[in-house]
Amino acid sequence: CLLFLGIFSTPGLIWYLTGSGGMALFLCTIGFLFSLTGSFIYVELGNNIPESAT
């Protein structure tokens, strides 16, 4: 449950550190693209594992 509480605290911190709404949105978009790329890599690695021959 505590894992997903970062979504409530992180945007305010990003807004405070950047001082600009546009820059905060840009950084969140970059973070989203990094996580999306990581998930695609994880899926590709999972597809390369051969299934057991049962």
H/E stretch holding 53 reads none
Prediction pTM value = 0.66
What tens digit of pLDDT does each residue of 11-49 get?
888 889 899 889 888 888 898 899 899 999 999 988 888
What does the block give as tokens for 6?
Answer: 């970062």
What does the block give as tokens for 33?
Answer: 């693209």
Query: In 10 A of CB 28, how many CB atoms?
Result: 13
- What is residue 32's predicted lDDT score, i.e. its pLDDT? 87
> Domain extents for the chain?
20-47
Share of the chain above pLDDT 70, in %: 81
- What is residue 6's predicted lDDT score, i.e. its pLDDT? 67
The CA–CA distances, whole Å, from 44 to 15, 19, 35, 49 equal 34, 38, 14, 9
